[in-house]
Amino acid sequence: MKRRNFIKNASLSGVGFAIGSTITNCTEKSTDKKVISSIDKSTLPLVIATWDVPNATTKAWETLQHGKSVLDAVEQGCMIEEADLKNSSVGNGGLPDRDGIVTLDSCIMNSKGDCGAVVYLQNITHAVAIARKVMEDTPHVMLAGRGAEQFAYEIGFEKENLLTDTSKKAWETWKEKSEYKPIINIENHDTIGMLAIDKNGDICGACTTSGLAYKMSGRVGDSPIIGSGLFVDNEIGAAVATGLGEEVVKTVGSFLVVELMRQGKSPQEACEEAISRIVNKPNSNYKNFQVGYIAVNKRGETGAYSIHQGFSMTKYQEGKNENIQSDFFLKEEK
């Protein structure tokens, strides 16, 4: 039996089956219909993404217009940035770890609450596509390192070199000083996290990154961790994070944003509260790092907030694709 068939069959037995039925029961008693009736569906569909990524949101929007699923939309949108060699924090062309190796983290979550993730993936550009396959074709939610790479080859992906000449040169320059401190990119182009709602009000999200430039070998950030880098609850809304993953993980940031929306906060208020949890921690050195969140609720309202100035969200809604500067915490900064 091929390994892939074995993987699929494994989900039909033992623990796999027990877990599967729990998930099904949860979604069956969903109260989506009640919530959806209060949505102004004329504002849907809607796509939002972290940073200034017009090509990615356009791709997601067009995917929806062509009748494809909202899961296809977020996957296809993220793949645009993964394939962009000029984007040095995602996929092919991403900056390497301190040993010169490019490693990718990604996750995806659908409106039923299913999710898949890959961490420390090497030699494959489209980490988000592998994360989706983990969700759909295995009984697991996360594959790491060599196992994730092996799985990618088994489902037909080819080995690639992700270290571009530009990234290699940047790494060689970095090595001259080899500052141990992670360098936080708070520029205008970064990890992509994308959330989309289709015209029926169903929400999906995805997140993909090469993580912090010159990180320690083996380091994994928030981006592939469900609840930290991304969380979707089809009854409430969704959130996705960018910035220093360690700080997002410590506050389970995206789950927190969604839970705050569940308690009645708007997406904007929820993003602000999640940032305040980070900056108000005792001894927080938040002036030295960036974290940003974007969120959407079931009504199609959106929010974005970050610690430092310079974060933005790209939003495609009602045929208009715009980049919106995020409000931020450190107001004294210029």
Instruction: Please calculate the CA angle 154-155-158 and round it to the nearest 5 degrees.
Output: 80
Among 76, 242, 297, 326, binds ligand SD4 (CB under 6 A): 242
Alpha carbons 304 and 323: distance in angstroms, whole number: 12
> DSSP letters of 168-211?
HHHHHHHHHH---SPBP--SS---EEEEEE-TT--EEEEEEE--
Among 82, 97, 222, 259, binds ligand SD4 (CB under 6 A): 222
Q: Which of 50, 138, 191, 314 is catalytic?
A: 191
Shortest spacing between CB 248 and ligand SD4, in angstroms: 6
* Residue 192 or 258 with smaller CB distance to ligand SD4: 192
Q: Which of residues 87, 125, 209, 302 is near ligand SD4 by CB under 6 A? A: 209
Residue 269 CB, nearest approach to ligand SD4 (Å):
22
Query: Residue 302 is which amino acid?
Result: T
Q: Judge whether 242 counts as a catalytic residue.
A: no
Give least dist CB 212 to ligand SD4, A.
Answer: 5
The count of residues in the chain is 334
**Alpha-carbon torsion (115, 119, 122, 128), positive or negative:** positive
Amino acid at site 156:
G
The interface mask with ligand SD4, positions 71-110, x = CB under 6 A, is: ------------------x---------------------
Instruction: Tell me how far, at minimum, the Cβ of 40 lies from ligand SD4, in Å.
Output: 32
Residues in contact with ligand SD4, total (CB under 6 A)? 14
Element (H, E) at 116: strand 115-121
Applying CB under 6 A, does 300 fall inside the site for ligand SD4? no
247 forms part of the interface with ligand SD4 (CB under 6 A):
no
Nearer to ligand SD4, 191 or 251 (CB): 191
221 near ligand SD4, judged by CB under 6 A? yes
**Bond before 267 cis per omega within 30 degrees:** no
Q: Does 245 bind ligand SD4 (CB under 6 A)?
A: yes
Exactly one of 81, 82, 114, 190 binds ligand SD4 (CB under 6 A); that residue is 190
Q: How far is Cα 98 from Cα 85, in angstroms, rounded to an integer?
A: 19
Using the contact rule CB under 6 A, the part of the chain among 39-47, 204-212, 256-264, 277-285 near ligand SD4 is 204-212
Q: How far is the CB of 119 from ligand SD4 (least distance, A)?
A: 10
Beta-bridged to residue 317, according to DSSP, are: 46, 320
- Residue 94 CB, nearest approach to ligand SD4 (Å): 10
Give the DSSP letter string of 247-310: HHHHTTHHHHHHHHHHTT--HHHHHHHHHHHHHTSTT--GGG--EEEEEEETTS-EEEEESSTT
Does position 116 bind ligand SD4 by CB under 6 A? no
Closest CA to 51 of 191, 183, 225, 196: 191
Q: Which stretch binds ligand SD4 (CB under 6 A): 125-133, 171-179, 241-249, 296-304?
A: 241-249
Q: How far is 250 from 57, CA to CA, in rounded Å? A: 29
CA distance 83 to 61: 18
Residues annotated catalytic, as ranges: 191
> Which residues of this chain interact with ligand SD4, rule CB under 6 A?
89, 185, 190-191, 209, 211-212, 221-223, 242-245
